[in-house]
Structure 1
């Protein structure tokens, strides 16, 4: 995973979109929780996808709502991980 746009794509693929929602509208500053786009199950699916597809292991201490407010906040949390967690 090389960019926040890549992360947006990963998150977007884990969201169940309503008919009136456009999956392409997901950006770094999209309020995921506030808009109800993700819930606890979606968060765990994103965490699993990060590990499987991007090799990013989020420690349990980082799986908190604050890190999932927007794709940008999650990107920042990933960037703050020790290098061994991102491999």
Structure 2
């Protein structure tokens, strides 16, 4: 069963928001680095959540600003890793 972008996005936003309760403007394009929301603990929590929730194993090549800058880029990562590999 293919993951639906809207569902994954809602789950990622909810998860990140639960870890950043003092930040009210969270959206799919919020720059987590610029807003200083993404620290090492949140990064580990998000990776763990992705691996547990979606059954995806992320390697070192996936852990970096390009994939974790915004909730939208995190969703893109999840969808790209969950896609069937040909």
Does the TM-score normalized on the shorter chain lie above 0.5? yes
Q: Which residue of 2 aligns with 1:63?
A: 63
**C-alpha displacement of 1:84:** 5.9
Report the number of matched residues: 80
Q: Which residue of 2 aligns with 1:30?
A: 30
State the superposition RMSD in angstroms. Answer: 2.2
- Greater relative contact order, per chain length (Cα 8 Å cut-off, separation 6+): 2
Indicate yes or no: 2:53 matched with 1:48.
no
Unaligned runs of 5+ in 2: none
Contact kept? 1:5, 1:28, Cα under 8 Å: no
Contact kept? 1:58, 1:78, Cα under 8 Å: no
CA deviation string 1:31-82 (max 9, x = no partner): 1111001112210111011122333332221011221110001111222225
Stretches of 4+ moved more than 6 A in 1? Answer: none
Unaligned runs of 5+ in 1: none
Contact kept? 1:8, 1:27, Cα under 8 Å: yes
Structure 2 length normalisation: TM-score?
A: 0.74
